């Protein structure tokens, strides 16, 4: 019914996208294997392709996504210029269009009619299907990217997108390839193969990262954390975290999580080329995880068939933990008030470094300990 109302069923085909995907996929399945069987690729062509892969992939993750869609940090034009150029090379539309749709995705995530790449319309729709027709859910309205239109680099890219995209995908690999004596090798590996791989790797964030993986921070939406997807998406696989804390410049927040986009942004900041890197305080992360565990423990206790006395004991324990959590949150709110007061009296600097840090570290530790206890409690209800 909603299909008919919103016009999904009869949406016209999006021919430019169909032709582009048809061409790139058709050629990668025919021309590339034929060329590989009849010619040799130079080592330079492979290295060039790897470089273009990294540059275009990170332009989407560090540029289109974290810098522009979410404003998770700010960057010097020396960083923004290559991000804009290689972003055009990734053939995913102009930054303004990409960021506009992405902001709509976050606002209406999982809504079957309003999320442009809603996973509720199926894996294929979220992966690529949404681009093959002019669906009403992806109707363009750039009013949500007015802040980005002010950046002359982005305005330029939007205006000259087609020319830039063609030059970066065909002209550039041919020119660099010619300099290394392997123009065709560069075009086929660094242009064609790279674009097909890069497309699918990025599309996995909308499909697989909303389908497959764990949800440690929230079950309010379908986004998942998935280490495997992170390996091919330059760190964007920690999508459950990202959907809850979208303004954080990190997606993988632990040291062992593979998030090269975070490392690149941090690296730029140490050189003075990026600043205002936004990070969600660890306390809020711990709080989200604990709230998620409480919900799971409650569900576990509801569904278990322990002896009534044992069940009662576990429920009392859980109740104690909920009360302890409430007390910690009360202390945390008091700390925020004290902090505000210190800032008002302009004694924040000295105070921040000693008192606040000590109290915050103590509260964070309390939440960590509590998470361990609630996990144990949850295990007992199985
Ligand atoms: Zn998402
Ligand atoms: Zn996002």
Each residue's pLDDT tens digit, 104-136: 999 999 999 999 999 999 999 999 999 999 898
Residue 180 has what pLDDT? Answer: 94
Residue 6 has what pLDDT? Answer: 54
Centre of ligand 2 to C-alpha 106, Å, is 7
Centre of ligand 2 to C-alpha 222, Å, is 13
273 and 79 Cβ atoms separated by less than 8 Å:
yes
232 or 366, which is more confident: 232
Least confident window among 81-90, 141-150, 349-358: 349-358
Least confident window among 173-177, 238-242, 316-320: 316-320
Residue-level length of the chain? 382
Centre of ligand 1 to C-alpha 41, Å, is 37
Find the ligand nearest to 222 CA: 1
Could you identify the residue written with the tokens 């144990």? 376
Centre of ligand 2 to C-alpha 53, Å, is 21
Q: Which residues contact 251 (CB under 8 A, 6 or more apart)?
A: 230, 235, 236, 237, 238, 239, 241, 242, 259, 261, 262
> Of 295, 98, 300, 124, nearest to 211 (Cα)?
124
Centre of ligand 2 to C-alpha 9, Å, is 28
Mean pLDDT of 138-166: 95
Q: How confident is the model at residue 4 (pLDDT cuts 50, 70, 90)?
A: very low
Centre of ligand 2 to C-alpha 170, Å, is 29
Encoding tokens for residue 283? Answer: 């306390």
What proportion of the chain, given as a percentage, has pLDDT over 90? 67
Residue 346 has what pLDDT? Answer: 67
Centre of ligand 2 to C-alpha 64, Å, is 9
- The gap between the terminal CA atoms of the chain, to the nearest Å, is 41
Centre of ligand 1 to C-alpha 282, Å, is 22
331 and 360 Cβ atoms separated by less than 8 Å:
no
> Using CA atoms, how far apart are residues 365 and 345, in angstroms rounded to an integer?
29
Residue 370 has what pLDDT? Answer: 78
Centre of ligand 2 to C-alpha 265, Å, is 16
| pLDDT over threshold 50, residue 5 | no
pTM of the predicted structure, to 2 decimals: 0.86
Three-state SS for 279?
Answer: coil
Mean pLDDT of 144-154: 95
Find the ligand nearest to 206 CA: 1
Find the ligand nearest to 69 CA: 2
Centre of ligand 2 to C-alpha 367, Å, is 27
Three-state SS for 68?
Answer: helix
Centre of ligand 1 to C-alpha 233, Å, is 13
233 or 352, which is more confident: 233
Residue 236 has what pLDDT? Answer: 96
Phi, psi (degrees; rounded to nearest 5) at 74: -120, 155
Centre of ligand 1 to C-alpha 18, Å, is 23
188 and 32 Cβ atoms separated by less than 8 Å:
yes
Centre of ligand 1 to C-alpha 247, Å, is 13
Q: What is the pLDDT of residues 202-259, one digit of tens each?
A: 999 999 999 999 999 998 899 999 999 999 999 999 999 999 999 999 999 999 999 9
Least confident window among 88-92, 161-165, 258-262, 278-282: 278-282
| pLDDT over threshold 70, residue 347 | no
Q: What is the pLDDT of residues 41-59, one digit of tens each?
A: 999 999 999 999 999 999 9
Could you identify the residue written with the tokens 């604990």? 290
Centre of ligand 1 to C-alpha 3, Å, is 22
Encoding tokens for residue 350? Answer: 């000295």
Q: Rounded mean pLDDT of the chain? A: 89
Encoding tokens for residue 349? Answer: 């600097």
Could you identify the residue written with the tokens 């064609």? 192
> Of 244, 95, 74, nearest to 165 (Cα)?
95
Centre of ligand 2 to C-alpha 246, Å, is 6
Three-state SS for 127?
Answer: helix
> Using CA atoms, how far apart are residues 289 and 26, in angstroms rounded to an integer?
45
What proportion of the chain, given as a percentage, has pLDDT over 70? 95
Q: How confident is the model at residue 295 (pLDDT cuts 50, 70, 90)?
A: confident
Q: How confident is the model at residue 375 (pLDDT cuts 50, 70, 90)?
A: confident
> Using CA atoms, how far apart are residues 33 and 205, in angstroms rounded to an integer?
28
Phi, psi (degrees; rounded to nearest 5) at 75: -140, 150
288 and 325 Cβ atoms separated by less than 8 Å:
no
């Amino acid at each position: 019914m909603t299909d008919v109302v919103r016009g999904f069923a009869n949406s016209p085909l999006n021919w430019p996208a169909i032709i582009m995907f048809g061409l790139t996929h058709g050629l990668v399945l025919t021309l590339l294997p034929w060329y590989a069987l009849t010619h040799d690729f130079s080592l330079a062509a492979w290295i060039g392709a790897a470089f273009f892969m990294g540059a275009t992939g990170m332009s989407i993750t560090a540029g289109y996504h974290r810098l522009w869609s979410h404003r998770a940090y700010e960057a010097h034009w020396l960083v923004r210029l290559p991000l804009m150029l290689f972003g055009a090379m990734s053939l995913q539309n102009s930054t303004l269009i990409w960021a506009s749709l992405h902001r709509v995705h976050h606002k209406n995530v999982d809504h079957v009619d309003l999320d442009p790449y809603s996973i509720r319309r199926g894996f294929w729709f979220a992966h690529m299907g949404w681009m093959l027709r002019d669906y009403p859910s992806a109707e363009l309205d750039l009013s949500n990217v007015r802040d980005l239109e002010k950046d002359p680099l982005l305005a330029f890219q939007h205006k000259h997108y087609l020319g830039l995209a063609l030059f970066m995908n065909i002209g550039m690999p041919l020119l660099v390839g010619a300099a290394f004596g392997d123009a065709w090798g560069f075009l086929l590996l660094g242009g064609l193969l790279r674009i097909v791989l890069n497309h699918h790797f990025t599309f996995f964030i909308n499909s697989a990262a909303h389908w497959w993986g764990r949800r440690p921070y929230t079950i309010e939406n379908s986004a998942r954390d998935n280490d495997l997807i992170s390996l091919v998406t330059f760190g964007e696989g920690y999508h459950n975290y990202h959907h809850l804390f979208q303004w954080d410049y990190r997606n993988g927040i632990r040291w062992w999580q593979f998030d090269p986009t975070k490392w690149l942004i941090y690296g730029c900041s140490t050189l003075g080329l990026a600043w205002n890197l936004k990070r969600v305080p660890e306390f809020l992360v711990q709080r989200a995880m604990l709230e998620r565990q409480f919900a799971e423990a409650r569900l576990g206790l509801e569904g278990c068939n322990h002896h009534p006395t044992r069940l009662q004991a576990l429920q009392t324990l859980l109740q104690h933990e909920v009360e302890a959590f409430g007390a910690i949150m009360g202390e945390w709110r008091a700390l925020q008030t004290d902090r505000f007061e210190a800032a008002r009296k302009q004694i924040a600097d000295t105070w921040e470094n000693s008192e606040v840090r000590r109290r915050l570290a103590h509260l964070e530790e309390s939440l960590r300990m509590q998470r361990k206890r609630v996990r144990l409690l949850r295990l007992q209800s199985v």
